[in-house]
Amino acid sequence: MAEKEGILVIAELSPAGAPDAVTLELLGLGARLAASSGKQLQAAAVGIDTASAAATLIASGAAAVFTVEGSAYAAYDPDLHVTALEKVVEEAGPSAVLVGNTTVGQDLVPRLAFALKAGLTTDAVSLEMKGGALASTKPVYGGNAMAVFVSRGKPALASVRPGAGDPAKPDASRTGETVKVDVEAPSPRLSFGGKVLEEGGDVRLEEARVIVSGGRGLGGAEGFEQLRELARLLGGAVGASRPPVDAGWWPSTQQVGITGKIVSPEVYVAVAISGSSQHLSGISDSRVIVAINKDPEAYIFKVSDYGVVGEWQQVLPGLSSRIREILGV
């Protein structure tokens, strides 16, 4: 039976109707929260046909799955999905609601929170239940402070940064209840004209294993050609801090930082970047950070694992040519 005061995970479904990777992470996190607070783990799925999604969600730990079905939910429309989920939350009466901080999640969850007049913490990196209430931790001020947020009243909503938890492992022997929720879909107010995919000649920053980024100290667009050479050798992408983007040396789509893209590569190479707080906040999940800067006092060295103090025009050729030798190219 679906219990009140549960931990409710809102599933994001692929076009084929399967819960995505972030949803499984939320179920992993949610199971831990539920166990520590004696609450029930639940999930919600909205789509054309939610039967197979519900089965996966139950196998992944949800004791109850609330579903809203209809042809109106073929693609994401915020007005329709918010109305559906508002009804689900009213019916489920959860103490906490978890959503992935994805493209859809970022659009959906503020609308849902305001529709419910409920507290919301976005881009949470860790979650905990304290005295039966959700406490969500997120970086603020460009990562210069970590804040823990607790909501007055219930439910508390959180959107969770992808990768913040280990995914739940499905187990087909688990059982759970499916609760169908009837919702009258409102008339659409937005008209979607279709997605236009852009050519990705270079490796995308969010998916790159290696990122070589340049800062103000590169002095011009020409410097980025040398970074591109190093990135190509390492099979990586070229990013930039904000000043080169503002100066028009590198496209704004390749800006790394809290005002650009938040990245988590295996290796992040910061060339002539001193390390503003908003930039550092966008790279702190990198496994290894390498800094090249002529200023030994540059803050970037404090947050790096490897560093060379020197002019990048001289350091970079030495680095690239030895890498070429090592890789035999």
Partner 1 sequence: MAELNILVCVKQVPDPEGPPSAFEVDSAARKVTPKGIPPVLSPFDENALEAAIRVKEAAGGSITMLSVGNNLSKAVMLKALASGADRLVTVEDPSCDQEGLDAFATASLLAAAVRKAGPFDLILTGRQAADTNAGQVGLGLAQLLSIPAVSVAGKVEVNGGTARVETVLPDGYEVVEASLPLLVTVSHEVGDLRYPSLMAIKKAKTLPMETFKPADLGMEPGSLVINEITELTAPNRERRCRLVEGESPEDAGAKLAALLKEDKII
Query: Which of the residues 79 through 108 are near partner 1 (CB under 8 A)?
Result: 79, 103, 106-107
User: Whose Cβ is closer to partner 1: residue 47's or residue 275's?
Assistant: 275
Q: Which of 40, 42, 95, 151 binds partner 1 (CB under 8 A)?
A: 151
Is 55 one of the binding residues for partner 1 (CB under 8 A)?
Answer: no
What the block records as the tokens of 55 is 């089965």
Is 196 one of the binding residues for partner 1 (CB under 8 A)?
Answer: yes
Quote the DSSP letter at residue 218: G
The interaxial angle of helices 221-233 and 312-327, nearest 10 deg, is 20
Write out the H or E segment, with its range, that includes residue 139: strand 133-140
Q: Which of 110, 162, 167, 219 binds partner 1 (CB under 8 A)?
A: 110
What minimum distance in Å lies between the beta carbon of 6 and partner 1? 20
Task: Find all residues with CB under 8 Å of 309, minimum gap 6, and list them.
Answer: 293, 294, 295, 296, 301
| Span interacting with partner 1, options 29-37, 111-119, 166-174, 220-228, rule CB under 8 A | 111-119
What minimum distance in Å lies between the beta carbon of 190 and partner 1? 5
User: Whose Cβ is closer to partner 1: residue 60's or residue 268's?
Assistant: 268
Amino acid (1-letter code) at residue 97: V
**SS3 at position 178:** strand
What minimum distance in Å lies between the beta carbon of 22 and partner 1? 13
- Could you tell me if 239 and 264 are in contact, meaning their C-beta atoms sit under 8 angstroms apart? no
Is 189 one of the binding residues for partner 1 (CB under 8 A)?
Answer: yes
Q: Which of 1, 15, 175, 194 binds partner 1 (CB under 8 A)?
A: 194
Closest Cα partner for 226 from 314, 300, 286? Answer: 314
Subset of 19-38 contacting partner 1 (CB under 8 A): none
Is 276 one of the binding residues for partner 1 (CB under 8 A)?
Answer: yes
Subset of 218-247 contacting partner 1 (CB under 8 A): 234, 242-243, 246
Task: Find all residues with CB under 8 Å of 28, minimum gap 6, and list them.
Answer: 61, 165, 166, 167, 168
Please tell me the distance from the alpha carbon of residue 4 to that of residue 29, in angstroms, as a whole number.
Answer: 19
**SS3 at position 137:** strand
| Span interacting with partner 1, options 3-11, 30-38, 43-51, 295-303, rule CB under 8 A | 295-303
Is 259 one of the binding residues for partner 1 (CB under 8 A)?
Answer: yes
Residue with tokens 């290696």, as numbered in its chain: 210
Amino acid (1-letter code) at residue 115: A
- Could you tell me if 241 and 273 are in contact, meaning their C-beta atoms sit under 8 angstroms apart? yes
What minimum distance in Å lies between the beta carbon of 152 and partner 1? 5
Residue with tokens 């209430």, as numbered in its chain: 133
- Could you tell me if 37 and 132 are in contact, meaning their C-beta atoms sit under 8 angstroms apart? yes
Q: Which of 71, 173, 192, 329 binds partner 1 (CB under 8 A)?
A: 192
Is 195 one of the binding residues for partner 1 (CB under 8 A)?
Answer: yes
Q: Which of 204, 221, 225, 295 binds partner 1 (CB under 8 A)?
A: 204
Let me know how long the chain is: 329
Burial call 76-90: b when 16+ CB within 10 Å, e when fewer:
bbbebbbbbbebbbe
What minimum distance in Å lies between the beta carbon of 327 and partner 1? 8
Is 295 one of the binding residues for partner 1 (CB under 8 A)?
Answer: no
Q: Which of 17, 167, 219, 307 binds partner 1 (CB under 8 A)?
A: 307
Is 249 one of the binding residues for partner 1 (CB under 8 A)?
Answer: no
